[in-house]
Structure 1
């Protein structure tokens, strides 16, 4: 009232204050939502630093957790920052233990029982390896023939490992599978593509004057034969027509 009596128009001031208050209210609402979500994430131990997680479809190593945000670093080094209140799905790939799943494809002609036995032997070798034994929590679990693909039979298996160590164990196992299959002649089919580098047919080439003369003679023969056939197909005049002409 004092400002109004002093001659100031307080309408714009009140409108501006309302806009600012509305913006602060929305900001505070989002902040409160992030803080509440962050509190539950920490209390429930859903994810920890150095876990590998997938948040809203984006995966990476958890580098930072606080009440407001979670920070992931992708495999290519990209840093992703997620407000806790905006997290719809959170998948922890390394909580307590991890699995590496193998989809081993072999040709239809191969004996699947033999392939399973080879995989089992390789799993036992991994368990006895001093370098990889401490990373593996359980023997290789062979789940069996999983499906029939377009060109391969898929056999599924998996290793249970320490958190974050599934890729180390899995890559070594893949290397050994490829090497052993090559040694035993077990075929691992893959798509083939045939590429034909063709060209349009070229015109008949006349290489010499003799070829030119032979071509001309051939054309004359063809034309003469066509002319003779045309004449032979013409109707013969009847006797009445001949008398009328006379």
Structure 2
């Protein structure tokens, strides 16, 4: 083998070659490099401004809705309480929608900036975009479940079906909503379990804390109790409950004391229904039961004893 054919690696680099490389690098920095810096700065500024505009838009929309739904000087204390709850829910919904919109806009802006930077580096972006289109089509076909979840999440957010803090029944899980996004809804059940439900699998939603609720208290009364006496006691307890300042602001409608709902050999069933603000029904039911128990004890009216079949293990 002829050693003269091999390059002399020990020879120093040519000054002309080094200068040529430096000139090329400097030229690239002054052209494409500067363009990339401008793209990065512009993307950062546009992202920040767009986020501020989106936040300002949703905040203005929420404040306008609050002004339209408020009649100055014509609201009672109860109406004011309900208006405050509605305003809190609007603000919560506005923040959720604003956050989703900002994330989507940020993703779009930086995706466009990335394509522009690749073009400045010298990458032919046309095949890349075409490939992304094919990959996106394939991913869309394979990710139909994910797309279904996202679409369902968007509908839930815009229609205000569920919000963080609501107590809901999603068929698969019942409890308090701790988190909701475009893909899943997280619900904390009464025993502390955190359930994660895909939005696309939610067929029905029962919201216990939206609008108003009914406090429903059922009573099993001894068959020997006088019907008129029981009616007077239940009506008296209900009237006192509604007139109590601690509860009057939370009552949203006229209460109802039922007649005899059912009779068997050991009990007569009666019921009290009081419309209250959303989320207050459980406390109101406990208070009604406590007051009815005290009134019955004072009047000597007995509750029904549990039937033998009710005490058997199931």
TM-score by length of 2: 0.51
What is the distance in 1 between the residues matched to 2:172 and 2:229? Answer: 39
Question: Which residue pairs with 2:165 in the alignment?
Answer: 50
Structure (1/2) with the larger strand percentage: 1
| Residue 92 (str. 1) matches residue 207 (str. 2) | yes
Structure 2 counterparts to residues 116-195 of structure 1, below 5 A: 116-191=231-306
What is the distance in 2 between the residues matched to 1:163 and 1:126? Answer: 17
What is the distance in 2 between the residues matched to 1:73 and 1:138? Answer: 30
Gaps of 5+ in 1: 1-20, 194-246
Measured after TM superposition, the shift of residue 178 of structure 1 is 0.8
Q: Aligned pair in 2 of structure 1 residues 27, 76: CA closer, same or farther (>3 Å)?
A: farther
| Residue 30 (str. 1) matches residue 30 (str. 2) | no
Structure (1/2) with the larger helix percentage: 2
Structure 2 counterparts to residues 60-71 of structure 1, below 5 A: 60-71=175-186
Partner secondary structure for residue 63 of structure 1? strand
Structure 1 contact 124–139 (Cα < 8 Å) conserved? no
**Structure number with bigger Rg:** 1
Question: Which residue pairs with 1:204 in the alignment?
Answer: none
**How many equivalent residue pairs?**
174
Question: Which residue pairs with 2:49 in the alignment?
Answer: none
String of CA shifts for 1:99-130, please: whole Å, max 9, x gaps: 11111111111122221211111111112222
Q: Aligned pair in 2 of structure 1 residues 24, 104: CA closer, same or farther (>3 Å)?
A: same
String of CA shifts for 1:203-246, please: whole Å, max 9, x gaps: xxxxxxxxxxxxxxxxxxxxxxxxxxxxxxxxxxxxxxxxxxxx
Structure 2 contact 216–273 (Cα < 8 Å) conserved? yes
Q: Aligned pair in 2 of structure 1 residues 125, 80: CA closer, same or farther (>3 Å)?
A: same
Structure 2 contact 223–268 (Cα < 8 Å) conserved? yes
TM-score by length of 1: 0.65
Partner secondary structure for residue 136 of structure 1? coil
Structure 1 residue ranges, 4+ long, deviating more than 3 angstroms after superposition: 23-27
What is the distance in 1 between the residues matched to 2:229 and 2:195? Answer: 46
What is the distance in 2 between the residues matched to 1:150 and 1:71? Answer: 46
Question: Which residue pairs with 1:3 in the alignment?
Answer: none
What is the distance in 1 between the residues matched to 2:203 and 2:290? Answer: 37
Measured after TM superposition, the shift of residue 55 of structure 1 is 0.8
Partner secondary structure for residue 137 of structure 1? coil
CA RMSD of aligned residues (A): 2.3
